[in-house]
Structure 1
C-alpha cells in the first residue's frame, strides 16, 4: 500500500521540478510513482499529505571524518592547513568512550540533517560499530599515508588489515594527500584499489603550501616534516603543482574524488580532466573557510564542466555536519541556483559512490530518502531555511 506526499514543489533532480507534484511511497520507503498535479488529480489519489516547501532526495556527503568528531570546537579557526594537521595530531587522543559518543552523535546529526549516505575517511577501525548501527549508508575510505618510499610495503599491509577490520562494511584503501604519499605507496594503493568498479578519494590542493612544496620544496610543510622528525632529503621540488605531480601516479580506472581543490588553477583542471576520465570534484566550503578562510574558484570549476559533489569534512573543521549548510554557503558567495546545488548534493555524490540506482533522485524504484526544505524565498536559501527528514 502506498502513502502520498505532496509539496509546493517536488525536485526529482533528473527532471524538471513539479509544482504541487505527488510522490507515492511504498511501506518500505521506496518510491512507487511520481505524479504531476494533473496526473494525481486524474488518478484520484488519497489521502495526500501536503507540505509547504520543497521535497528533495536525501543528501550524499562525499567527504567526512567521523572518527574526528570528538575534536569539535577544539581547534581554532584559520590556522592554515599545516597548523591544522599539527593540531589534529596533538589533540587526537581521547578515551574510547568519548570517541564513540562523539561519533554516534555526529552520525545522528547527519541523519537528522537529511543525509542518507556518507563517504567517510578513516585511519583506524574505531568507527566500525557506529557505522554498523547507523541508519546511514557508509563507504569507508581507509587512508594510507607515508612519504618515505622505503615504508610503502609495510604501510599498505597495515591499510589492508584496517580495511579488513571494517568487514562486512564497504571499505577501500585510498591515498591521504599528495604530501603524505610516496610514488611507491601510490603504486601499492593502485594494486589494491585501482579497479574500474572502485571509487577512491584524495585531499587535493587544500592549501597554497601544498603547491609550494611540490613546485620548489618550500613553505610551511617543511616545518611540519621537521615537527614529525621526518627526513625528506630524498625529495626534490619538480616545478609542477601538487595535482600535476601526483595525478599521473593514480590509476585512471576508478571513480576518483578530488577533495577541497581550494588552490586549484585552470591549468590544473585542464591537466586533470585530460588524463583522468572518471574525476569528481568535492567541495567542502565551510571547512575551507574554517581552516584557510578561502573558497575554491567555483566559477572556474563550473566553466570547465567538471562533476561537483559536496562534503562536510569533520567536526574538527566545521561547526556542523550538514550538506544544506554547505549549499547555503555556496549560494551566499556565488549566487547559484538551488537546482544546480541540489544536483551536486544528491545525484553527483550518488554516482561517485556507485549508488545512483538507490539514491540521488526521486524516481520510481529508488529508496533515496525524502527531505522537506522549508522557508526558502525566491529560490534562494537563507538563514531561516530548514530541512526536515520525512523518510
Structure 2
C-alpha cells in the first residue's frame, strides 16, 4: 500500500525544498515526490502534516559499546580525565549490562530517526545487535597501541576481529594520533588501501594532543607514565597532530576526521593539499560534555569542506539523536541554514559510508527512511523541535 504524506516543506536534500509538497512511500521506498496541488495526486488520500519531511539521519560516529557508561562520567572534566574514567569503568561493568545497553541504544537511535551508523568497536560485543537491527551499520574496528614494538600483534588481533564481524561491513582503523604508533598506522593504511575500506579517526579532540605532537609536553606525558608506557621513542613533530599522521595514509584514502575541536586554519590548508578524500565529523554535544568547547564551524564552512554529524557515545552524551546535535549547532551558530546542515546529517554521511545509492536523500527508488521534524519556525529549528519516524 502506498502512503502519501504532505508537510509544510519537503527537504529532498539533493534538490530545492518543496513547499507544501507531497511524498509517496510504498514499503519504505519512495515512489514519487510531488509539488503542491499536483494533479497526479488529486484523487489520493494524502495525510497532511505540520513540519518538514527529511530523509532518515546518518550518525557518522557512535560507540555502541560504551552505552552502559551513560551517566557514569562527570561532564566537562577534559579529554584525558574522561579517558581515564572509561578505562576504570570498563572493569566494573558486566557483559550482560553491556549487551542490554547496546540493544537499548540501538532502539533509541532507530526511534530518533537514525537509519545508518558508523560505529566504533573494540570488541565483538555489538555484532549480534547490529545483525538484528533495522539500522545499517558500518563497524570501525578501532586499534590502539602507541608502542612501536607492539604494532604487529595489535594489528593481527584487529584483523581477526575484522573477520569475526563478517559478513557485516567493517574497516580496521586507528583510534587517535596519541594512541597509535607510526608503525601501526602503516599496517592499517596498507590494509585499508588493499581492501578498499574507509577510515575514521578521532582528531584533535583536545589541545593536549597538539601539545604532544608539537612539543612533547602536556597532560599526555603524565597519562603515559601512569599507564607505564615508555614514550622515549616519540619525537616532537613541531606541528599539530593531524599534519603528522595524514602523510601516513595512502593517497586518495577516504577518511573521516572526528571531533576536530582544536583544528586550525593551517591544519585545514595542510589537509586540502594532502590529496586525501577527507570528511570532517562534528559531535557537538559530546564536545560540550567533555571539553565544553565546539569546533570553529565557520572555518570549515569557509573552506567548503565535507561535513558529517555524529553523536559519539552515551558515555559522553545524554542522548543518541542527530536532531539534538543539529539543535546544538544552530543554537551556537544561528546564521547557519537548516537546508545546509540537514546535508551534514544525511547525504554527506551516506556518501562517506558509501551508501548514498539508497540513503541520505529523498529520491524515487530510494529507501532512505522518512522523518518528520515538528515545531519549527518556517525552516528554523527551535528548542521544542522534535523528530518522528514516518517510514
Same structural fold, with TM-score higher than 0.5 when normalized by the shorter chain: yes
Contact 2:253–2:276 (CA under 8 A) maintained in structure 1: no
> How far apart, CA to CA, are the structure 1 residues paired with 2:88 and 2:217?
24
Name 2:353's counterpart in structure 1. Answer: 353
Secondary structure of 1:38 counterpart: coil
Name 1:76's counterpart in structure 2. Answer: 74
> How far apart, CA to CA, are the structure 2 residues paired with 1:277 and 1:170?
22
Secondary structure of 1:76 counterpart: coil
- The answer on 1:380 being equivalent to 2:380 is yes
Name 1:274's counterpart in structure 2. Answer: 273
- The structural deviation recorded for 1:164 is 1.1
> How far apart, CA to CA, are the structure 2 residues paired with 1:173 and 1:205?
20
> How far apart, CA to CA, are the structure 2 residues paired with 1:263 and 1:109?
30
Contact 2:255–2:276 (CA under 8 A) maintained in structure 1: no
- The structural deviation recorded for 1:199 is 1.1
> How far apart, CA to CA, are the structure 1 residues paired with 2:142 and 2:16?
39
Name 1:44's counterpart in structure 2. Answer: 42
Name 2:11's counterpart in structure 1. Answer: 11
Contact 1:173–1:189 (CA under 8 A) maintained in structure 2: yes
Q: After superposition, where does 1:326-337 map in structure 2 within 5 Å?
A: 326-335=325-334, 336-337=336-337
- The structural deviation recorded for 1:223 is 1.3
Secondary structure of 2:16 counterpart: coil
Mark the CA change 1:50 to 1:69 in structure 2 (over 3 Å): closer, same or farther: same
Secondary structure of 2:49 counterpart: strand
> How far apart, CA to CA, are the structure 2 residues paired with 1:152 and 1:210?
20
- The structural deviation recorded for 1:3 is 2.0
> How far apart, CA to CA, are the structure 1 residues paired with 2:109 and 2:138?
15
Q: After superposition, where does 1:1-391 map in structure 2 within 5 Å?
A: 1-26=1-26, 28-39=27-38, 41-93=39-91, 94-195=93-194, 197-335=196-334, 336-391=336-391
- The structural deviation recorded for 1:73 is 0.4
Contact 2:140–2:172 (CA under 8 A) maintained in structure 1: yes
- The structural deviation recorded for 1:196 is 8.1
> How far apart, CA to CA, are the structure 1 residues paired with 2:67 and 2:40?
50
> How far apart, CA to CA, are the structure 2 residues paired with 1:130 and 1:375?
33
Contact 1:195–1:253 (CA under 8 A) maintained in structure 2: no
- The structural deviation recorded for 1:43 is 4.2
Secondary structure of 1:385 counterpart: strand
Secondary structure of 1:339 counterpart: helix
4+ runs deviating over 3 angstroms = none
> How far apart, CA to CA, are the structure 1 residues paired with 2:222 and 2:293?
22
Contact 1:147–1:181 (CA under 8 A) maintained in structure 2: yes
Unaligned runs of 5+ in 1: none
Once the two structures are superposed, residues 231-263 of structure 1 have per-residue CA deviations (whole angstroms, 9 ceiling, x without a partner) of: 001111111111111110112333210000000
- The structural deviation recorded for 1:302 is 0.4
Contact 1:260–1:288 (CA under 8 A) maintained in structure 2: yes
Q: TM-score, normalised by structure 1?
A: 0.98
Contact 2:69–2:314 (CA under 8 A) maintained in structure 1: yes
- The structural deviation recorded for 1:45 is 4.2
How many residues align? The count is 389
Unaligned runs of 5+ in 2: none
Q: TM-score, normalised by structure 2?
A: 0.98
The two structures, once aligned, show a CA RMSD in angstroms of 1.1
Mark the CA change 1:18 to 1:84 in structure 2 (over 3 Å): closer, same or farther: same
